Amino acid sequence: MSKEPHFTRRGERSPVVVRDLRRVDPVILRASRRQDAGGPVGPRPDGVGEARPDSGRADRTEAAQGREGIAELTADLQRVKAEYDNYRKRVRRDRLAIREIAVVNVLTGLLPVLDVVEEARRRGDVNGAAAVISDVLEERLAALGLQTVGAAGELFDPHTHEAITYLASGAASETVCTEVLRHGYQVGGHLIRPAQVAVTGPSPAA
């Protein structure tokens, strides 16, 4: 920038004229004009205000990591729930098994009493108060799950029957229980005692 004085013919000094000799970068000048006019501003030489492509990639990476974290937490929750459900089923199954074992032990101790009652009924000795007591006893034991095993006319089953006598018959095609000598008992799937029976079956082959 320079100041050049100028003198008129009469010796009077004219106003000072200022000339800016500095060079202006045309790129910056155009950017400044566009900004003043409200137009789009291009990227600055120093990179300030320029959108970086890595920022969008970082956002996508964080979103993917968030989804993976949610999936892992969901899988952990489902696994814990499945383990808890299995634990509840196992505890319930164990409780039922313990209860059934306890009932079996009690009823096994009462089998001699039931045998006496059954024998007395066969002889006709159960009447009056004894009949009432025997009926109540059998009713209560049935409520605990006690079931009798063995009846005349059933097919012989070696798993639930004990053959005391065997009568061969040429007319028989199957082995059948013809008489129950002593009832057997079971609780649920536990056989406490097999039934003693007399059976009739086919004649053995020569």
Q: Rounded to two decimals, what is the model's pTM?
A: 0.53
Phi-psi region of 38 (alpha: psi -120 to 50; beta: other; left: phi over 0): left
d(CA 61, CA 189): 60
Residues paired with residue 179 on neighbouring β-strands, in sequence order: 198
| Digit-coded pLDDT (tens) for 43-70 | 555 554 555 556 667 777 888 888 888 8
Q: Are 175 and 87 in contact (CB under 8 A)?
A: no
Supply 115's token pair. Answer: 């045998």
The pLDDT score that the predictor gives to residue 184 is: 93
- Indicate the residue type of 172: A
d(CA 10, CA 203): 166
